Structure 1
Amino acid sequence: MFTQKDKESLLMLLDGGKIHMGEQVKIFEEAFARHMGVKNAVAVSSGAGGMHIALLAAAVGPKEEVIVPPLAPVAGPNAVFYQGAVNIFADVDAATGNVDPKDVLARINSGTKAIILHHYGGQPCDLQPVLDELKDKDVPVIVDATHSIGASYHQQSVAGLGDMVVFDFGPGNQIYTGEGGMITTNSDELAQWLRMFRDEGFVREKHLLSKDEGPWHNEMQDLGYPYRITDLQAVLGLSQLERLDETVARREEIAKRYNEAFGSMEEVEVPEEVPGVKSAWGFYPLLLKEEKLIANRPRLFVQLKMQGIEVQVKHYPVFLHPYYLWAGHPDVCTLEGSRAPKAEEFYQRVILLPINQTISDEEVSNIIAKTKGILTAF
């Protein structure tokens, strides 16, 4: 997982004696912004923290509505609740698990304050119709790009598509720093708000202070949160950023082998190839087709695990978590039927095969052979 250069970068920082948020964070932010082709990058303690302060920067407040994706980490919808706002779930495209832009647009009304989109599994969603519709409206688009570091949409990095785009550096992602994340934006004003909110509301730049008490002076100008990242995480992220293209290319190779191996099987469906979209392959979703397989997915999961295959299942439709059932929108939580039926159907069919840059060709062959054998046996 970690290279010799990663380890050397950490040791050099430790030798310097300072590991809190400092110069290395600034260097990492600037390098990330350059690599992604955007004006600003703001490092944060986690992707979840990034989603929270993105909503703060978007000025989302109590009882305002935010349209959110159902098949995504809970960080985005949770942040809506942090702000006392209301989650409005849009449904997904049944083939990809990505939010359906038509359903998003159908849910926009006068009470819509912001929209959160998500790139399921690292494959960019079709966000251009949403961006076009909102071009002249004061409704910011925040993108949860948790699994999408290095993905592109019509030859443009996903980092520049949306008012704010939030990345996560947690386990399984293309850059892994233990915890940590990054928010990209082409707005200097939003970047300024984000930096303040991630630093407990403090402003430290002299030209932004309301008064000058001396060279030591800084001010808390709003209510922020302790969402700072450390220089330790920054140097690790910077080292991995240098090989990001290689990391994504390796994941793409593995995905291609999976597609070739499982594409001809009647029992399953491989991820749909969407023209103009380059996935970062945060994970590899294999969709079960046979009713017997779907009904026996728990047994299938256990058998794959017993064969040493690190299979996963995610994301549970957010609105089905008990808290969301108890604290849902008062106007819709008592309605009969699903709030996003296609999302529920997709979740019931999906299993995720291992995909990361450290898996060898031999291991990929082993995963394919064992998975095929178990699917056929069922």
Structure 2
Amino acid sequence: MTKQVENKFIPYGHQQIDQDDIDAVISVLQSDYLTTGPEVNRFEAAVANYVGTKYAVAFSNGTAALHGACYAADIQEDDEVITSPMTFVASSNCVLYMGANPVFADIDPKTYNIDPIEISKKITDKTKAIIPVDFTGQPCELDKIKEIATKYNLVVIEDAAHALGAEYKGRKVGSISDMTMFSFHPVKHITTGEGGIITTNNKKYYEKLMEFRSHGITRDRTKLEEDHGPWYYEMQSLGYNYRMTDIQAALGTSQLNKIDGFLKNRKAIVEAYDEAFASISAVKTPFQKEYNDSSWHLYVISLNLDKLIVSRKKIFEELRKANIGVNVHYIPVYYQPFYQERGFQKGICPNSEQLYETIITLPLFPSMTKHEVKYVVENVISIVTNYTKSGWDDFK
């Protein structure tokens, strides 16, 4: 059965904040700027430099950033945008915000990422964009997706909320697609508390993103229809108040300075998990393409339910009882009542639905101790083998 329960709950993800981060925030609190100011500019430049792109536009959160990207891509009412169902609802909700229609394409059962073949099947004369999701931090088949987008004149808005620091064929995620979104929620690779950013090499997209995040207002003298004086600005479109604060940005810049160490720690934990679970036939460990360098936001195991005498739910509950904060990423988006009410039906993406029935997300964050990793490993092995049909004899 389970090993002795620890007093400390081990979450599936957690931020790592040190004194440098605290000092950076205090410095802003003692400065003249609290909202959008020089620290936001500094953070945007740092992110753009890190991923190797010309522009970066910070937003109040990742969902707002996706909304801004849809606006910059000129997605209109009744357009269609293809995305994955194995993601958080924001990846498709941003399409609905524009009055457009999300279309779900199934995943590759190996990588759990959206399948380019399935994308091609879903393209119609209404398709305007593709939002591929780098699930768990592994980049999608970006070259193939780009080929499809070029053929049909589509915009690629990469949802890389999980993938800061990841590489695809030697190129940093964030420098490849038309626009790429990163999230800075506390469980992500770096945090700004809440926050998001869009990176792009397209100046037109950059300018539209900047306008959209601040009420549709511009102060650019070359774009004004009138000019009443130095104080004058114009609202030229309907934008939103999606600005990041200097407080958030200062934290983000400090965090970004440590990302290499964060990624190194994540990969060490993944290696420990992979090695420990390799001999457990009821557990399938994550697969990574040979040319990808995942940033490992999540570690998702898939249970071989044919070898178990209990359900995924029972395994999940036993791990929670052991104070291990397992989770499930994700419920297919179209399972949600809001989407069901709009005509989406179960059965449209069978690979995604089959995966959902088997997956459990294990704890993975940079500050996990070796003791915590060992504790998770021992309990997963103990619980799974206890409920495997042939018990300990089921080792490969």
Q: How does 1:71-150 map to 2 (within 5 A)?
A: 71-135=86-150, 137-150=152-165
Show the counterpart of 1:358.
367
Match of 2:233 among 211, 218, 242: 218
How far does the alpha carbon of each residue in 1:179-225 deviate from its partner, in whole angstroms, 9 at most, with x for none? Answer: 10010001011000001001110112333323321111111111101
Instruction: Establish whether residue 373 from structure 1 lines up as the match of residue 382 from structure 2.
Output: yes
One-letter code of the match for 2:173?
Answer: V
CA distance in 1, matches of 2:219, 2:264: 40
* Structure 1: stretches of 5+ with no match in the other structure: none
Q: CA deviation at 1:120?
A: 0.6
Work out the CA distance in 1 between the residues paired with 2:369 and 2:228.
Answer: 59
Work out whether 1:28 is the aligned partner of 2:43: yes
Question: 1:206 aligns to what SS in structure 2?
Answer: coil
Q: Deviations over 1:233-292 (max 9, x none)?
A: 000000000111111111011011101111121011101121110111111000101336
Residue identity opposite 2:124 in structure 1: N
SS at match of 2:81: strand
Distance 2:220 2:59 in 1: 18
User: TM-score normalised to the size of structure 2?
Assistant: 0.91
**Displacement of 1:65 after TM fit?**
1.0
Q: Which residue of 2 aligns with 1:286?
A: 301
Q: Which residue among 172, 175, 188 is the counterpart of 1:173?
A: 188
Aligned-partner residue type, residue 205 of structure 2: L
Q: 1:162 aligns with which of 168, 177, 195?
A: 177
CA contact (8 A) 1:131 1:162 kept: yes
Runs (4+) of structure 1 moved beyond 6 Å?
Answer: none
Q: Distance in 2 between matches of 1:168 and 1:234?
A: 13
CA contact (8 A) 2:139 2:163 kept: yes
SS of 2:180's equivalent in the other structure is: strand
> What is the deviation of 1:137?
4.1
Deviation at 1:294, TM superposition (A): 8.7
Give 1:69's aligned residue: 84
* Aligned position for 2:349: 340
Quick one: distance in 1 between partners of 2:223 and 2:112?
Answer: 43
Q: State the Cα deviation string for residues 128-179 of structure 1 (Å, max 9, x = none).
A: 1110232254310111111111111001011012111011111310011221
Contact 1:201–1:224 (CA under 8 A) maintained in structure 2:
yes
Provide the C-alpha distance between the structure 1 equivalents of 2:229 and 2:316, rounded to a whole number of angstroms: 62
Contact 1:293–1:300 under 8 Å retained in 2: no
What is the SS of the residue equivalent to 1:53? helix
* Aligned equivalent of 2:213: 198
Task: Quickly say closer, same or farther: Cα 1:27–1:273, change in 2 above 3 A.
Answer: same
| Equivalent of residue 261 in structure 1, options 276, 280, 286 | 276
Q: What TM-score do you get using the length of structure 1 for normalisation?
A: 0.95
After TM superposition, the structure 1 stretch with the greater mean CA deviation from structure 2, 265-274 or 130-139, is 130-139
Match of 2:341 in 1: 326
CA shift at 1:362, angstroms? Answer: 1.6
Q: Give, in whole Å, the separation in 2 of the partners of 1:313 and 1:106.
A: 28
Query: How far apart in 2 are the matches of 1:206 and 1:357?
Result: 46
Separation in structure 2 between the aligned mates of residue 4 and residue 138 of structure 1, nearest angstrom: 48
Q: C-alpha distance in 2, partners of 1:238/1:206?
A: 30
Moved more, 203-212 or 46-55: 203-212
SS state at 2:174 partner? helix
- Determine the structure 2 residue equivalent to 1:277: 292
Contact in 1 for aligned 2:305/2:311 (Cα 8 Å): no
Q: Deviations over 1:41-70 (max 9, x none)?
A: 000011100111111111111111111110
Q: What SS does the aligned partner of 1:358 have?
A: coil
- Give me the whole-angstrom Cα distance separating, in 2, the residues matched to 1:18 and 1:42: 18
Q: Which runs of 5+ in 2 are unaligned?
A: 1-15, 388-396
SS across alignment from 1:365? helix
User: Which moves more between the two structures, 348-357 or 206-215?
Assistant: 206-215
Sequence identity of aligned pairs in percent?
A: 37
Per-residue CA distance 1:305-343 (angstroms, 9 max, x = gap):
111211111111001101101113xxxx46xx6110100
Query: CA RMSD for the aligned pairs?
Result: 1.4
For 1:209 and 1:222, the matched residues in 2 are separated by 12
Structure with the bigger RCO (C-alpha within 8 Å, sep 6+) is 2
